[in-house]
Amino acid sequence: MRFRLFRDLVELCFGQLLAAVVTLLAFASLARTLDTEHYGFVEFAAALSLFFAMLVDFGLGSVGARELARDPARASHHAAIIPAVRLLLAAVAIPVMGLSGHLINGSPEAQPLVWLFSIGLLAIPWRLDWLLQALDRMRAVATGQVLRSAVFAVGVYLFVRGPRDVVRVGLVEILAAGSAVLFYLALQVAYVTPLRIRFSPSDLKSLLHQASSIGLSNVVWALHQYVHLFLLGTLVGGEETAWFGAAHRIVAAMLIFSYAYHFNLFPTMVRWIADSPRRFDELMRASFRMVGWAGVLIAFGCSLFARPILEIVFGERFGTAAPAFAILVWAFPITTLGGHARWSLIASGQQRCVLLAQTAGAAVALPISPFLILRYGAVGGAIAMVAATLVVWLTAHLFAMRHVGRIPLLPSVGWPLSLAILVAVPLTLFDPSPWLPWLKAILLAGAVVLAPLGNPAFLPDLRLLAQAKSDLPSRESV
């Protein structure tokens, strides 16, 4: 119990990391099996699927997790009503997404691929990670994610043998989504509540009202995360879509840790905001310093070695995407740090502020992205995405300071973040000398060694986070 938060975090992060690695290996296999254009189609369809999945979820998972964290006895009620609302939203999202495939700049094979990925949205109503999250069953959440990724990877390996098999990727996606659904439903029936659906107009209206701000903010977030890939696919197409898609694929896998970290911390945040504002403040400061330093170091290393990372994962052809990846990877620490403000606002019921922050990011991304993409291709898309992510963080921070309390900003991680960006990006964009890789290795090793010295509160922060759930009531793990 003393180290419950860390135990849950390790289980969740291990599962999500394993799922991300397996998915990344599957896409690495696709990058080598398909030609560059067809790989770009797959990234386009996958991005559309993730965007419309946000529409189907519409923040209902976050609302359900928040309400059950406050009152676990209502698990049966929410497990019946939330899938019903999601089914109604899926009925609208599937045809809209399928028709969006006609916008892609390329082969007609992209259209049936998008339609197949859209059918996979039928799994979203039964994705019950929110239910397991609220009941602190993080191991079950992680297991379901690993299962889905493993089925997708095995399906890609068995059924996708060449560029002509690109449409089969959509069939594999449906199979993977269905396997995760069966797993979650089996857990619900065995450990939580019997399976049932409830279409109650009053409950549907109440849930949509509570979730609307979160749902819209998630949709807007997905928009400025994936609009650059959509624009590359429709305005440019071809190789630039594949270059950005490969770089974004790695960054998206890294962002899973950010989501998993705050996902695990969220129930504790909800309770501490209500019961102990002082302890909530201590938690936020310790968490901000720890993940800030870790995020900066990871982004710094990835920027320095962008080209070899891409070539190892996706093949030698994708080394061309190194400049885009070196810039795009900084979305990881920015998103992770900004998550403290966003999730704090949700935990305190200020969903509309999160929506406004995400809208501010989209307001930056939408005007500048077409210009930067048409002029600089994948690199332009990376610049636009990082700029939009930074705007979301700063806007959410201002709202959190007003409605929640003192949320940390840059003083504790500002100087290493600035120094890392100033060193890493130039060394990646300009690589004129054969001895430069040695310099990069020395710089990265020095940063890792000196990082604890730059954060004198390292051990107290670690101890506080380790014991953050020690005073919470115990719940049996699946």
| pLDDT over 60 at 474, yes or no | no
Q: Is the dihedral of CA 360, 363, 365, 371 positive or negative?
A: negative
Least confident interval from 222-231, 325-334, 434-443: 434-443
Percent of the chain topping pLDDT 90: 4
pLDDT for position 446: 60
Q: 297 in a domain, yes or no?
A: yes
Mean of the pLDDT values across residues 343-358? 81
pTM recorded for the entire structure: 0.71
Q: 477 in a domain, yes or no?
A: no
Least confident interval from 204-208, 389-393, 418-422: 418-422
Contact yes or no for 381/229 (Cβ under 8 A):
yes
What does the CA dihedral 362, 391, 304, 225 come to, rounded to 10 degrees? -20
pLDDT for position 153: 92
- What 8-state DSSP symbol labels residue 398? H
What is the rounded distance in angstroms from the CA atom of residue 438 to the CA atom of residue 467?
A: 40
Least confident interval from 9-18, 315-324, 329-338, 462-471: 462-471
In which domain, by residue range, is 401 found? 4-466
**Phi and psi dihedrals of 194, rounded to 5?**
-60, 155
Q: 476 in a domain, yes or no?
A: no
What is the rounded distance in angstroms from the CA atom of residue 16 to the CA atom of residue 263?
A: 11
> Residue 446: is it exposed, middle or buried by C-beta count within 10 angstroms (0-12/13-18/19+)?
exposed
Mean of the pLDDT values across residues 263-276? 71
pLDDT for position 171: 92
pLDDT for position 284: 77
Q: 246 in a domain, yes or no?
A: yes
pLDDT digits (tens, 9 = 90+) for 17-58: 788 888 888 988 898 888 888 888 888 888 888 888 888 888
Give me the number of domains the chain comprises: 1
Contact yes or no for 116/173 (Cβ under 8 A):
yes
> Residue 281: is it exposed, middle or buried by C-beta count within 10 angstroms (0-12/13-18/19+)?
middle
pLDDT for position 76: 74
Q: 93 in a domain, yes or no?
A: yes
Percent of the chain topping pLDDT 70: 76
Neighbour tally for 430: CB within 10 Å: 9
Least confident interval from 151-165, 280-294, 327-341, 462-476: 462-476
Least confident interval from 187-196, 280-289, 455-464: 455-464
- How does the average pLDDT of the chain come out, rounded? 77
pLDDT for position 449: 58
pLDDT digits (tens, 9 = 90+) for 395-451: 988 888 888 776 766 555 555 566 666 666 566 655 544 445 655 666 666 655 565
pLDDT for position 37: 80
Question: At 478, is the pLDDT very low, low, confident or very high (cuts 50, 70, 90)?
Answer: very low
Mean of the pLDDT values across residues 194-214? 73
Contact yes or no for 114/104 (Cβ under 8 A):
yes
Mean of the pLDDT values across residues 124-151? 78
| pLDDT over 80 at 469, yes or no | no
Neighbour tally for 117: CB within 10 Å: 29
Mean of the pLDDT values across residues 181-186? 86
pLDDT for position 154: 93
Q: 22 in a domain, yes or no?
A: yes
**Phi and psi dihedrals of 67, rounded to 5?**
-70, -40
Q: 383 in a domain, yes or no?
A: yes
Q: 472 in a domain, yes or no?
A: no
